[in-house]
Amino acid sequence: MIPIVMRASEEALNWCEVAARRQHGAGRESLADHRRIIVPAALPAIVTAVFLAVARVAGETAPLLLTTGENRDFALSPNEPTSSVPTLIYKYAWSPYEDWHRKAWAAALS
């Protein structure tokens, strides 16, 4: 998610900076005073980038959750079903144990 959001945010801020420079006829040194204008103008594009990144992550994770099955153990041979990190995060996050919740957060943030 981070590369998608960062790249889209960079493009939105650059576009708004160029637009502000054209509108006000200002150089780069006087645009420092206009940051309060540029960032709010780019905010809708940044929020859209966050939504698109979340949708992409959900779209890539959903098939994995549906195809890995219910196995939480490591496979001993290539013929056995195996679990994946998103599956473990999902199962641990919905468990009734507080310790498993912490493990799910640790796996999700790593």
For residues 55 and 81, state if they share a domain: no
- CA dist 88 and 96 (Å) reads 14
| Residue 102, domain extent | 68-110
Sign of CA dihedral 91, 93, 95, 101: positive
Which two tokens mark 109? 């943030």
**58 in the same domain as 11:** yes
Model pLDDT for residues 40-53, shown as the tens digit of each residue: 888 999 999 999 99
Count of domains for the chain = 2
Q: Give the pLDDT confidence score for residue 96 in this predicted structure.
A: 92
In contact, 52 and 3? CB cutoff 8 Å: no
Burial class of 51 by CB neighbour count within 10 A (0 to 12, 13 to 18, 19+): exposed
Mark whether 2 and 53 lie in a shared domain. yes
Reported as a single tens digit per residue, the pLDDT across 61-83 is 777 666 666 666 667 777 777 77
Please check whether residues 3 and 23 belong to one and the same domain: yes
pTM above the 0.85 mark? no
